[in-house]
Amino acid sequence: MTFTPPTIAALIVAISFAAGLNLYATVATLGILAHFHWVMLPPSLNALTNPWVMGAATLLFVIEFFADKIPAFDLIWNAAQTFVRVPVATLIAYKAASQLSPELQLLAAAAAAIISAIAHTSKTAARTLVTTSPEPASNIALSTTEDVAAIGLTWIATHHPYTAATIAGVFLVLMILSIRWIVRQLKRIWSRRPDWLRSESIV
């Protein structure tokens, strides 16, 4: 892959979106693919191929794989990941754009922060809505879909960055449009809370 400014931009868009869904899966996938020379990454991202980085990312992905599928606990986990996914996605983008001008490098980092934040926020909002369901199947299905999407989009980004960026862009638009609907549904569910909970919230 030839790393021109447009290629790097497309790679950053796709990777940032994937990181917003599952950072550890994204980092592990990038590191493993590059370590075994199945793909090429910008030289500034060589740190991802470090065995310690790959091992830590893989271990954390395994932990998140199970933690993210436990109703209610997944909300706590995702809330905590707010302080991990967005900053690390921003750092990866900043490093990936190191061969660009300082202005473009900062712009890439800012874009990555926004993209990963939208993906993460939308994921957390959707998870909040699904967690209200009494059965765990929907929560597990949604979490598994997110895992597969993060890994799949990362793989596509390393082979077909423009395609991956287009996919990420479409889903970003859909996520932004769906946030209002999700918030409306959450308000409707909250309005149906039991009387004892309603009285406590008033107090």
- Asked if residue 119 belongs to a domain, the reply is yes
- Asked if residue 106 belongs to a domain, the reply is yes
pTM: 0.88
When divided into structural domains, the chain yields a total of 1
- Asked if residue 60 belongs to a domain, the reply is yes
- Asked if residue 198 belongs to a domain, the reply is no
Domain limits for position 11: 5-193
Give the sign of the dihedral formed by CA 18, CA 23, CA 27, CA 28.
negative
Cα torsion through 46, 19, 6, 37, rounded to 10:
40
- Asked if residue 199 belongs to a domain, the reply is no
Per-residue pLDDT of the chain (203 residues), as tens digits, is 678 889 999 999 999 999 999 999 999 999 999 999 999 999 999 999 999 999 999 999 999 999 888 877 888 898 899 899 999 999 999 999 999 999 999 999 999 999 999 999 988 888 777 776 666 677 788 889 999 999 999 999 999 999 999 999 999 999 888 877 777 776 776 666 545 344 444 44
* DSSP-derived 3-state class of residue 51: helix
Closest among 174, 176, 77, 166 to 117, alpha carbons compared? 176
